[in-house]
Amino acid sequence: MTLQAIKYENGTLEVLDQLLLPKESKYIPILGVEDGWKVINKMQVRGAPAIAIVGCLSLAVEISKEEFEKKKALRREVEGKLNYLISARPTAVNMKQAADHLISYINSLDNDESISAQEMQARFVAAIEAMLEKDISDNRSIGEFGAKAILNNVTDGEQVRILTHCNTGSLATAYFGTALGVVRCLHSASRLENCYFTETRPYNQGARLTAYELVHDKIPSTLVCDSTVAYLMKTAQINAVVVGADRVAANGDTANKIGTYQIAVVAKHHEVPFYVAAPLTSIDFSVNTGDNIVIEERPQVEMTHINNIRIASPGVTCWNPAFDVTPARLITGIITEKGVFRPSELSTLQSQLQDHKNSLPQL
């Protein structure tokens, strides 16, 4: 078993094929942008942070092999291929945020007459490579802030029961995870009694991937059916729900894996705190509310078949949105690497997000 979803060293990139887990651990070589686009689109790599990292690293791999005599040729290639990578999966904002930043950065390098094409190329690749370590550091901060927020709501020494949805751990990020990073921090502090997690139909990211991670780390956990959540909250005294995010609107509305919205509704009914764990790069201040978030719809075969075996009657009509949007009013707090914020407080993060973008090339 391995939790290393992304292998990158000396310009060589491989990603763990998550469609084969937990049965088989197999790495796919990524030779360039086309390979990166395909593994993202086919969900062989998934999770908003991991999508951005793999997409950008696939570009770094490709341009590292090329020679550029003119800076403008490099800039044009970077811009075109980053915009192509954004199209692989439209809902998660991290890839777009990274692309916007990197395009701005390549333009600033292009405009600096003191920098040669070769130096421009090297600096650009280094900025992408820095994303790996930054993501791990951010994830650990998210985990610590989230664990502290949850423990502040219980008595000293009390162990907690957490519910999470989909997969938000090492397999969805560079390492450690967002929502699952919070679970890991609670476990490390000996304050986690149990982590309940949903199967997450139709792709079963919970049953296949979250189970894989929790078993690997020997974290006490229980898999439940998606339809069990309401009864679980009624009977198991859940202390908090922690989920990830693919895109957070400026008002706090949050797009995440399909099924998140209904969990938030049930949590509100049972007065269970509902947290979203996500890096600043998942917050999209250009989108005012969740109504403006584009929701990806996946092929119906993902619902009608499991392991290429049909489980639904031939001819049935399917609707398969990959995400839903949880209204901000149902969210207790959004856990970021800068702390935990109520949805109404997100505006205070806008300047920090800009500082975050400006700092990336120097990491």
pLDDT at 347: 87
pLDDT at 348: 85
Check whether 362 has a pLDDT greater than 70: no
* Span 285-300, average pLDDT: 96
Evaluate the omega torsion of the peptide bond into residue 202 and state whether it is cis, within 30 degrees of 0: yes
CATH class of 155-358: alpha beta
pLDDT at 357: 54
pLDDT at 153: 94
The domain limits of the chain are 6-136, 155-358
Amino acid at 258: I
- CA 240/CA 272 separation, integer angstroms: 6
Q: What is the mean pLDDT of the chain?
A: 94
Check whether 363 has a pLDDT greater than 50: no
Check whether 152 has a pLDDT greater than 50: yes
Check whether 361 has a pLDDT greater than 60: no
pLDDT at 355: 60
pLDDT at 349: 84
* Span 286-291, average pLDDT: 96
Check whether 167 has a pLDDT greater than 80: yes
* 6-136 CATH choice from 1.20.120.420, 1.20.210.10, 1.20.1250.20, 3.40.50.300: 1.20.120.420
Q: Tokens representing 1?
A: 């078993």
* Span 9-38, average pLDDT: 96
State the pLDDT confidence band at 278, using cuts at 50, 70 and 90: very high
Check whether 57 has a pLDDT greater than 70: yes
Q: Which residues are marked as active site?
A: 246
Q: What is the pLDDT of residues 121-135, one digit of tens each?
A: 999 999 999 999 999
Please give the backbone phi and psi of residue 348, each rounded to the nearest 5 degrees, phi first.
Answer: -70, -15
The percentage of the chain sitting over the pLDDT mark of 70, rounded to a whole number, equals: 96
Q: What is the pLDDT of residues 231-260, one digit of tens each?
A: 999 999 999 999 999 999 999 999 999 999
- CA 319/CA 297 separation, integer angstroms: 8
Check whether 344 has a pLDDT greater than 60: yes
Check whether 10 has a pLDDT greater than 90: no
* Span 307-313, average pLDDT: 94
CB atoms within 10 A of CB 108: 12
* Span 332-358, average pLDDT: 84
State the pLDDT confidence band at 307, using cuts at 50, 70 and 90: confident
- CA 310/CA 304 separation, integer angstroms: 6
- CA 334/CA 362 separation, integer angstroms: 27
Q: What is the pLDDT of residues 70-117, one digit of tens each?
A: 999 999 999 999 999 999 998 889 999 999 999 999 999 999 999 999
Three-class secondary structure assignment of the chain: CCCCCEEEECCEEEEECCCCCCCCCCEEEECCHHHHHHHHHCCCCCCHHHHHHHHHHHHHHHHHCCCCCCHHHHHHHHHHHHHHHHCCCCCCCHHHHHHHHHHHHHHHHHHCCCCCHHHHHHHHHHHHHHHHHHHHHHHHHHHHHHHHHHHCCCCCCCCEEEEECCCCCHHHCCCCCCHHHHHHHHHHCCCEEEEEEECCCCCCHHHHHHHHHHHHCCCCEEEECHHHHHHHHHHHCCCEEEECCCEEECCCCEEEECCHHHHHHHHHHCCCCEEEECCHHHEECCCCCHHHCCCCECCCHHHHEECCEECCCCCCCCCCECEEEECHHHCCEEEECCEEECHHHHHHHHHHHHHHHHHHHHC
Cα 360 to the center of its chain, rounded Å? 18
The percentage of the chain sitting over the pLDDT mark of 90, rounded to a whole number, equals: 92
